[in-house]
């Protein structure tokens, strides 16, 4: 039960600023809660997410807050465990009495929190990937990243372009991996791709050579797709090269972080994956409406943390900004009004794409903002 209680810094800064400017002193702060997997197997997703939330809560407060009110951020670390995510959600709702919750780094954490926010009627913006989070639509649950279904579609399209039709799948036994596997199976059927192998590995495994040996000995396989997040896919990538497999290797957007390239090292060369434009900000066309936002965000992030930006950092930024934007439009933090305002988000240009939500779509992203990238010389390169 590692607890990361409210980012005291942000709170202190916020309160002092509020007191100094005087404008917000009468109003209550906007209470934003967050459950993030800052440690554990998904830490390379959660760590930047936590940093971004703290950074931007600060920046917003320094700029005078939202509608004259400061942002008070409370972040808990679930360590990648769904049950802890649930108990921290309870704590955010019952004890900290937050107005909106951002987070759920992983699909599992999100799905564990979902029934609690539905019951507690608190708007909840998840940072996790699986399509099950928003399909079917849950009244109080939203999400910012692209779905695993979109990732599968993007990968299949790329396979077709390369004239490949037989795919081997290696998926993680986590919520994200399982949902990704289901989506891959479904999309493969639709697009006429044949799945010739279907292996799984554990999120904490440090050796998957046994599974990969089977794929190596499978003469039919023409390409391999790994569906997982965090450190596991880096292990798979390393073992893949160690076994001397030369088939094209695809990953999901669950690894769109420089951390993945660093861990897998040379083994990551040539790996392709779908990712938000954020990781290839400088390579986007100038006419791309996202360009300005992602370049600016990249600059702020890299100055603040002197490490390279990842798409996960972007998901957290989008989550916080959509929430605060909705507070502005709802004219306060009445939870029902806030929820409606989030659902009415329209044309918000974020790091993940342009978000237009509706009662039927609690994510609001289209496939356009998803780019196929390839690892080249230790960096991301836009494919075509």
Query: Can residue 91 be called a binding residue for another protein (CB under 8 A)?
Result: yes
Q: For residues 20 and 346, what is the distance between their CA atoms, to the nearest angstrom?
A: 34
Stretch that binds another protein, among 10-18, 40-48, 131-139, 272-280 (CB under 8 A): 40-48
Beta-bridge partner residues of 224: 168, 249
Query: Can residue 194 be called a binding residue for another protein (CB under 8 A)?
Result: no
Residue 212 phi/psi, 5-degree rounding, is -70, -30
The dihedral over CA atoms of 154, 159, 160, 163, expressed in degrees to the nearest 10, equals 170
Q: For residues 133 and 222, what is the distance between their CA atoms, to the nearest angstrom?
A: 32
Q: How far is the CB of 258 from another protein (least distance, A)?
A: 13
Query: Can residue 241 be called a binding residue for another protein (CB under 8 A)?
Result: yes
Query: Can residue 235 be called a binding residue for another protein (CB under 8 A)?
Result: yes
Query: Can residue 127 be called a binding residue for another protein (CB under 8 A)?
Result: no
Query: Can residue 95 be called a binding residue for another protein (CB under 8 A)?
Result: yes
Do the Cβ atoms of 210 and 181 come closer than 8 Å? Answer: no
Query: Can residue 5 be called a binding residue for another protein (CB under 8 A)?
Result: yes
Binding mask 154-183 toward another protein (x if CB under 8 A, else -) reads -------------------xxx--x-----
Contact with another protein (CB under 8 A) among 73, 86, 127, 226: 86
202-230 b/e (C-beta count within 10 Å ≥ 16 → b): ebebeebeebbeebbeeeebbbbbbbbbb
Q: How far is the CB of 83 from another protein (least distance, A)?
A: 5
Q: How far is the CB of 257 from another protein (least distance, A)?
A: 11
Query: Can residue 135 be called a binding residue for another protein (CB under 8 A)?
Result: no
Do the Cβ atoms of 190 and 184 come closer than 8 Å? Answer: no
Query: Can residue 257 be called a binding residue for another protein (CB under 8 A)?
Result: no
* Cα dihedral across residues 383, 154, 227, 224: positive or negative: negative
Stretch that binds another protein, among 66-74, 135-143, 190-198, 242-250 (CB under 8 A): 242-250
Contact with another protein (CB under 8 A) among 61, 171, 184, 211: 211
Do the Cβ atoms of 77 and 4 come closer than 8 Å? Answer: yes
Query: Can residue 377 be called a binding residue for another protein (CB under 8 A)?
Result: no
Query: Can residue 262 be called a binding residue for another protein (CB under 8 A)?
Result: yes
Query: Can residue 208 be called a binding residue for another protein (CB under 8 A)?
Result: yes
Query: Can residue 3 be called a binding residue for another protein (CB under 8 A)?
Result: yes
Q: How far is CA 288 from CA 47, 281, 296, 353, in A?
A: 28, 10, 14, 10
Stretch that binds another protein, among 258-266, 281-289, 296-304, 329-337 (CB under 8 A): 258-266
The 8 Å CB, 24+ separation contacts for 12-20 are: 13/58, 13/61, 13/62, 14/57, 14/58, 14/61, 14/65, 14/70, 14/71, 14/72, 15/70, 17/61, 17/62, 17/65, 17/70, 18/61, 18/65, 18/70
Do the Cβ atoms of 311 and 290 come closer than 8 Å? Answer: no
Query: Can residue 213 be called a binding residue for another protein (CB under 8 A)?
Result: yes
Beta strands in 37-89 (DSSP E): 71-77
Stretch that binds another protein, among 198-206, 307-315, 353-361, 375-383 (CB under 8 A): 198-206
Helix (H, G, I), strand (E, B) or coil at 380: strand
Query: Can residue 361 be called a binding residue for another protein (CB under 8 A)?
Result: no
Q: For residues 262 and 127, what is the distance between their CA atoms, to the nearest angstrom?
A: 23
Contact with another protein (CB under 8 A) among 243, 247, 349, 383: 243
Binding site for another protein (CB under 8 A): 1-5, 39-40, 43-44, 47, 77, 81-83, 86-87, 90-91, 94-95, 106-108, 111-112, 115, 173-175, 178, 199-203, 206-211, 213-214, 217, 231, 234-235, 241-244, 259, 262-263, 265-267
């Amino acid at each position: 039960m590692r607890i990361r209680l409210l980012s005291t810094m942000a709170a202190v800064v916020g309160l002092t600023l509020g007191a100094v400017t005087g404008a917000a002193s009468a109003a209550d702060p906007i209470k934003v809660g967050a459950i993030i997997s800052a440690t554990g197997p998904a830490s390379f997703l959660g760590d930047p997410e936590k940093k971004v939330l703290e950074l931007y809560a600060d920046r917003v407060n320094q700029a005078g807050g939202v509608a004259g009110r400061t942002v008070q951020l409370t972040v808990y670390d679930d360590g990648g465990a769904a049950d802890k995510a649930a108990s921290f959600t309870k704590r955010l709702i019952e004890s900290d009495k937050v107005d909106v919750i951002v987070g759920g780094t992983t699909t599992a954490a999100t799905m564990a929190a979902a029934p609690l926010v539905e019951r507690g009627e608190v708007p909840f913006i998840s940072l996790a990937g699986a399509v099950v989070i928003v399909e079917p639509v849950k009244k109080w649950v939203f999400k910012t990243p692209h779905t695993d279904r979109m990732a599968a579609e993007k990968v299949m399209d790329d396979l077709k372009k390369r004239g490949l039709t037989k795919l081997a799948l290696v998926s993680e036994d986590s919520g994200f991996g399982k949902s990704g596997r289901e989506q891959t199976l479904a999309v493969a059927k639709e697009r006429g791709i044949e799945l010739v192998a279907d292996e799984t590995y554990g999120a904490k495994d440090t050796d998957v050579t046994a599974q990969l040996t089977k794929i190596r000995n499978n003469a039919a396989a023409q390409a391999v797709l790994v569906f997982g997040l965090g450190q596991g896919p880096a292990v798979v990538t390393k073992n893949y090269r160690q076994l001397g497999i030369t088939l094209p290797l695809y990953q999901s957007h669950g690894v769109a972080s420089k951390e993945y390239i660093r861990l897998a090292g040379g083994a990551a060369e040539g790996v392709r994956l779908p990712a938000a434009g954020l990781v290839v900000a400088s390579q986007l066309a100038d006419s791309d409406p996202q360009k300005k936002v992602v370049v600016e965000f990249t600059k702020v992030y890299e100055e603040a943390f002197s490490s390279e930006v990842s798409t996960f950092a972007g998901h957290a930024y989008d989550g916080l900004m959509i929430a605060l934007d909705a507070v502005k439009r709802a004219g306060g933090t009445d939870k029902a009004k806030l929820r409606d305002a989030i659902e009415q988000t329209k044309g918000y240009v974020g790091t993940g794409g342009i978000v237009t939500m509706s009662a039927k779509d609690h994510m609001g992203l289209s496939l356009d903002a998803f780019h196929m990238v390839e690892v080249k010389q230790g960096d991301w390169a836009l494919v075509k």
